[in-house]
Amino acid sequence: MTESGRAASRTAVLVCQGRAAAHGRAATDQFADPVAVGLLGVAERTTVDQVRANTPPEGWRERTAYESVRACAEVVVPRTVAIDRALRARVTGQLVILGAGLDTRAWRLPELAQTDVWEVDHPASQQDKRARLAGTAPVLRGPDEGDVHHAELPATARSVRFTPVDFAVDDLGAALDAAGHDPSAPTTWLWEGVVPYLTRDEVHATVAALAARTVPGSALVVNYQAPSARVAAGRLLTRVLGGFVTSGEPWRSLWKPQRMAVLLAEYGLRVVSDDSLLALAHTLGSPARGRTSLRSGRVAVAESH
């Protein structure tokens, strides 16, 4: 827990574990995240190594963690590829990552060399990420490492500006103003893996706030979940069996593609593509055992003209 009263996001760690597990193993010609593993702690990396080696551990707790990372790796491959493609095709001078978690793009994508990146996230999650990046997070230390500090990772983006915001209570526009974002210049917005954790009102408010800082030439890349009875049942079971994996982070809003398009259009953002992760996984030839969660996960790209 931090002084903000909320613990750092566990799901952000899970997604990072998924990327680390898939790196060099799935869709290797299109997917790569060599940075992810360096942000993980010793115990978190153990599960990643087990998934990479296809060696499920004994014990229900360890096995649940293993299955979560394995399933997550399947989802993040098409999701990352789709988003990276969309970002590479829409490089502007400003990239705002909403709910950045342990996103690695500012340290991974050379295409961002002329782009300033704002990483917006809940203060607790952001504090945890900064400690991981600086190599000072307690979770990073092995049993023999004591107070060892790892070297800070160099960014590939022109700059990275950490901007703490709780979407449920804070004013996103004011926070971005304070952090030097220019609302009169084109911005690429990325909103990955966050929408389900927000209520419909919070999603509306966030779109309104970003649209107020969006000029022609800007784009929004949004990953969201469409409703699915099977996914809902699966998540309920996961929480009952292994609540520690996603604890305290229930899904609050799911969006049919049509509703998402209508919402974005209300704010001048026209959807130009909206793909299911399952279709993307098939194109990539990446693993797709968890067809249900892949089918309901989507990546949409909307542009402002």
In the complex with ligand SAM, the residue whose CB is nearer, 170 or 185, is 170
Break the chain down into helix, strand, coil percent, rounded to 5. Answer: 45, 15, 40
> Which of 94, 125, 188, 296 forms a contact with ligand SAM (CB under 6 A)?
125
Q: How far apart are CA 53 and CA 32, in angstroms?
A: 18
> Which of 51, 65, 75, 100 forms a contact with ligand SAM (CB under 6 A)?
100
For 200, the enclosing helix (H) or strand (E) is: helix 200-211
Is residue 194 part of the contact set for ligand SAM (CB under 6 A)? Answer: yes
Q: Whole-number minimum distance, CB 285 to ligand SAM, in Å?
A: 22
Give the DSSP per-residue string, 124-160.
Answer: HHHHHHHHHHTT--GGG--TT-TT--PPPPPPSSSEE
Provide the 8-state DSSP code for 57.
Answer: P
Angle between helix axes 257-266 and 200-211 (nearest 10 degrees) is 40
Is residue 193 part of the contact set for ligand SAM (CB under 6 A)? Answer: yes
> Which of 74, 84, 119, 121 forms a contact with ligand SAM (CB under 6 A)?
121
In the complex with ligand SAM, the residue whose CB is nearer, 260 or 297, is 297
In the complex with ligand SAM, the residue whose CB is nearer, 53 or 105, is 105
Q: Whole-number minimum distance, CB 101 to ligand SAM, in Å?
A: 2
- Greatest C-alpha distance within the chain: 55
In the complex with ligand SAM, the residue whose CB is nearer, 30 or 253, is 253
Residue 267: count of CB within 10 angstroms of its CB: 17
Helix (H, G, I), strand (E, B) or coil at 229: helix
> Which of 99, 278, 295, 304 forms a contact with ligand SAM (CB under 6 A)?
99
Provide the 8-state DSSP code for 56.
Answer: P
Q: Whole-number minimum distance, CB 148 to ligand SAM, in Å?
A: 26
Is residue 175 part of the contact set for ligand SAM (CB under 6 A)? Answer: no
Is residue 168 part of the contact set for ligand SAM (CB under 6 A)? Answer: yes
Is residue 67 part of the contact set for ligand SAM (CB under 6 A)? Answer: no
Is residue 128 part of the contact set for ligand SAM (CB under 6 A)? Answer: no
Q: Phi and psi dihedrals of 164, rounded to 5?
A: -75, 125
Q: What is the CA radius of gyration of the chain?
A: 18
Of the candidates 118, 40, 27, the one whose C-alpha atom is nearest the C-alpha of residue 80 is: 27
Size of the site for ligand SAM (CB under 6 A): 20
Is residue 12 part of the contact set for ligand SAM (CB under 6 A)? Answer: yes
Stretch that binds ligand SAM, among 57-65, 97-105, 273-281, 295-303 (CB under 6 A): 97-105
Q: Whole-number minimum distance, CB 146 to ligand SAM, in Å?
A: 29
Stretch that binds ligand SAM, among 84-92, 165-173, 181-189, 275-283 (CB under 6 A): 165-173
Give the DSSP per-residue string, 155-178.
Answer: PSSSEEEEEE--TTTS-HHHHHHH
> Can you give the binding site for ligand SAM, defined by CB under 6 A?
9, 11-12, 15, 99-103, 121-122, 125, 165-168, 192-194, 197
